[in-house]
Amino acid sequence: MTNIISSSNLGYPRIGENREWKKTLEAFWSSTISEDTFLKQMKNYRLNYLKKQKDLDIDYIPVGDFSYYDHVLDTATMFGLVPKRFEYSGGPVSLTTYFAMARGNEHAHACEMTKWFDTNYHYIVPEIDNNQTPMLVENKPLQAFLEAKNELNMIGKPVILGPFTFLKLSKGFKQDEFATILNRLVPIYIQILQELETAGASLVQIDEPALVTDMTKEEMKLFSTAYETITSQVLGLDLILQTYFESVTHYEELIQIPVKGIGLDFVFGKEENLTSILTYGFPKDKILGAGIIDGRNIWKSDLNVTLDLVRKLNDYVPFERQILQPSSSLIHVPVSLKHETQLEPLVKNALAFCLEKLEELKLLKEVVRTPTPAKMHELSLHHQTYNELATSKWRKEKSQTHLPNQRTLPFIQRQNLQQKKWNLPLLPTTTIGSFPQTKEIRQTRAKWRKGELTNEEYDIQIKEEIKKWVAIQEEIDLDVFVHGEFERTDMVEFFGEKLAGFTFSKNGWVQSYGSRCVKPPIIYGNVSFLEAMTIKETLYAQSLTNKPVKGMLTGPVTILNWSFVRNDIPNEEVAFQIAEALLNEVQLLEDAGITMIQVDEPALREGLPLKQRKHEAYLNWAVKAFRTTTSAVADSTQIHTHMCYCDFDEIIDSIYDLDADVISIETSRSHAELISAFETTVYNKGIGLGVYDIHSPRIPSEQEMLLTIERALSVLSPSLFWVNPDCGLKTRTEVETIAALKNMVKAAKKARALTVEV
């Protein structure tokens, strides 16, 4: 007798096996291809992705998960929620307006961009004015469903971002207006679902990851009421409320909502979600979407353990009411391992990218349905390759070294020493680290990696670029220089290539934001220092100028959070291994005379657990790891760090505890919100709030940046304030970079003069 259990996918990577999506997108932005060609190519990608999932025997294949930029932006534009500055006049939102919202244009700044829960994916923050009336201007899930139905004869599973999560991710309204706006959205969702039902859809995935956050009981009541209204008007459509990244907060209330199914994460929320089912049961009229394959990391699953979990769930939810699926959308992992021909076999055999994860789902489903000897043998072979790396020499237990994590003097005394040493002006200007990575620089690195340039030839070209940009910084009259990071492909990959315990894929790209893709390092074993990593280029830049040049490192927590991390030991242990390795580099820089050192931690906030009660433990070890990297230096050595935008006031104590002499924060898209945090929170260490947005090609004026500086100085001490862009300039052109930095320096000098006069 067979057990009828089914499989589903929650989302497929948009970028494609060879980043073809990215290349098409950027070709359209540069006007290399027409809008018609762009749309045709994107359609081909969508259909091809659906075919691949069909070939892997996925029972419920998502449609509507594809995007030209970001799924949250898609939802906002579907409702006609376009900020007034983009001069939208109604109807379907054009591609021009859509991309302007994401990237800005010469007339309007882009919408804010921030992290998608605790991942390294960034979404575009919807702006909702309580005076706006959302309406369905384009039923995008319906279009995706009909395309799959008409082109492939496929009844797909439409994927929709749910109203509650969409609103929680939005800004522009007061908290007491939340319920009113949610009630305005509910009829729109009803309309979307009714049109899908009419078109022949049978099952719809409604993503509500806000359910795993610290929702209040009042919020859960609002949530329940909204879905009771929706389901009362959509009777012929099975709705699955999908959660991921953690355990749900109000399980007892959630299972009472009259939807057909609930999707739970049994990877990142395993223990608590399982305990909820064992304690409170699971409704006999509902389907359980069991997220049992890790959707965020690239390691094979231990299918023996996973199979035991599925069988345990069967005691409460029979197989016929279980849908096996990844723990989240697979946009967080690369597409396919087939291009990885250079990885160490032992490591490669332990990996699973998107397609391999779907193959795991297929095997697991087949073993549950019909456990034939052939399938059980296949399961055994899978476990063998999974176990080989786990028992290898690379993962032998490593004892922790006890290293100093406290500076000798408090900040105020260090600041006096550092000011005497550097004699910097009020409101000193600097940049975050990287300068434009031109096509020529990328080609130089590629040739060197292929062996087409010798080490000497490569070094000469890198030095030429450093020399050029040191001269540009002199001309612009910045106060503190950087060498430009021309030798670095990526701020994490660069260090991973030089540390033991890391390896790299050839094609393991994932989407970070828009067309920006990253190829995270793979931490497969114990991490340790091998040799100097940044000394040569930093010292060369310093030899060209009398201005201070910052040494530039990526911090341990960011390297951890932006890598695919081994999952056999706690992240905390891996972070301290990285911190100890980086400490060696910090000491080498200091010994070489580089005594202004920036250790960037842009990803510290994104690693924060989604539940408040887990924050303290994470922040404690994250802060300790940073301080392990930076504390064993002289008090006159100035430690800088950089962070991407976060809810600053939420982790202000931990940011203060980093004990960096200067912190720069990416804030330009939400500058006013962050500045308001300082009206109630005193921060008395050096700080630079990014005064312009580097993610947009738009060049802000001197006056615009001056106003931003003045706004910041209304709540921050001029003696502590630094002026800088909000992030690295790697993605900008040379013309944009120079023009914006010139305006920034002029604005800083004018603000400096005004401050002195006062």
Q: CA-CA distance, 575 to 555, in Å (whole number)?
A: 9
CB neighbour class for 2 (10 Å; exposed up to 12, middle 13-18, buried from 19): exposed
Is 642 annotated for ligand binding? Answer: yes
Is 644 annotated for ligand binding? Answer: yes
Is 600 annotated for ligand binding? Answer: yes
Phi/psi of residue 35, nearest 5 degrees: -60, -40
Q: Cα 419 vs. chain centroid, distance in angstroms?
A: 36
Q: CA-CA distance, 255 to 369, in Å (whole number)?
A: 27
Number of C-beta neighbours around residue 311 at 10 A: 12
Is 432 annotated for ligand binding? Answer: yes
5, 319 contact by CB (below 8 A) = yes
Q: CA-CA distance, 714 to 748, in Å (whole number)?
A: 15
Number of C-beta neighbours around residue 615 at 10 A: 15
Helix (H) or strand (E) holding 75, with range, is helix 71-78
Number of C-beta neighbours around residue 90 at 10 A: 9
Is 666 annotated for ligand binding? Answer: yes
Could you say which of 122, 332, 640, 695 is catalytic? 695
Of 96, 217, 94, 204, whose CA–CA distance to 160 is shortest? 204
Is 485 annotated for ligand binding? Answer: yes
Of 298, 366, 305, 303, whose CA–CA distance to 337 is shortest? 298
Is 21 annotated for ligand binding? Answer: yes
| Coil, helix or strand at residue 242 | strand
Q: What would the two tokens of residue 419 be?
A: 């000011």
599, 234 contact by CB (below 8 A) = no
Is 517 annotated for ligand binding? Answer: yes
Is 704 annotated for ligand binding? Answer: no
Q: What would the two tokens of residue 548 be?
A: 């201070």
Q: Which of 332-352 are b and which e, b meaning 16 or more Cβ less than 10 Å from the residue's Cβ? A: bbbbbbeebeebeeebbbbbb
Is 20 annotated for ligand binding? Answer: yes
Residues whose CB falls within 8 Å of the CB of residue 538, separated by 6 or more in sequence, listed in order: 483, 549, 551, 552, 589, 592, 594
Is 627 annotated for ligand binding? Answer: no
CA gyration radius, the chain: 26
Say which DSSP state 532 is in. Answer: -
Active site residue 109: no
3, 368 contact by CB (below 8 A) = yes
Of 229, 224, 220, whose CA–CA distance to 193 is shortest? 229
Q: Cα 134 vs. chain centroid, distance in angstroms?
A: 28
Q: CA-CA distance, 243 to 264, in Å (whole number)?
A: 6
Say which DSSP state 301 is in. Answer: P
Please name every residue paired with 169 in a beta bridge, in sequence order, or none if there are none: none
Is 395 annotated for ligand binding? Answer: no
Phi/psi of residue 428, nearest 5 degrees: -65, 145
Cite the annotated binding site for L-homocysteine by residue number: 432-434, 485, 600
Q: Which residues are catalytic?
A: 695
Cite the annotated binding site for L-methionine by residue number: 432-434, 485, 600
Cite the annotated binding site for 5-methyltetrahydropteroyltri-L-glutamate by residue number: 19-22, 115, 516-517, 562, 606
Cite the annotated binding site for Zn(2+) by residue number: 642, 644, 666, 727
Cite the annotated binding site by residue number: 19-22, 115, 432-434, 485, 516-517, 562, 600, 606, 642, 644, 666, 727
